[in-house]
Amino acid sequence: PAKVAQTSTSLNAFEDELGAQPPLGFFDPLGMLTDADQERFDRLRYVEVKHGRICQLAFLGQIVTRGGVHLSGSIDQAGHSFDSYPNGIAALFGENAIPT
Give the length of the chain.
100
Do 80 and 59 belong to one domain?
A: no
Looking at the structure, tell me whether residues 79 and 58 fall in a common domain.
no
Q: Which domain holds residue 29?
A: 10-69
Amino acid at 83: D
Cα distances (angstroms) measured from residue 71 to each of 20, 52, 56: 41, 24, 19
Query: In this predicted model, which residue has the larger pLDDT, 65 or 58?
Result: 58
Q: Indicate whether 50 pLDDT > 90.
A: yes
| Closest C-alpha to 39, from 59, 64, 10 | 10
Please tell me whether residues 75 and 94 are part of one structural domain.
yes
Whether residue 41 is found in the same domain as residue 83: no
In a domain, 3, yes or no: no
In a domain? residue 18: yes
Indicate the average pLDDT of the chain: 82
Which residues does residue 14 pair with via DSSP β-bridges, in sequence order? none
Same domain, 23 and 65: yes
Is the same domain home to 37 and 60?
Answer: yes
Task: Please tell me the total count of domains within the chain.
Answer: 2
Whether the per-residue pLDDT at 12 is higher than 80: the answer is: no
Instruction: Look at residue 36 and tell me if it is in a domain.
Output: yes
* pLDDT level of residue 24 (50, 70, 90 thresholds): confident
Percent of the chain with pLDDT over 70: 88
- Same domain, residue pair 77 and 65: no
What pLDDT sits at residue 5?
54
Rg, Å, the chain Cα set: 24
pLDDT of residue 11: 56
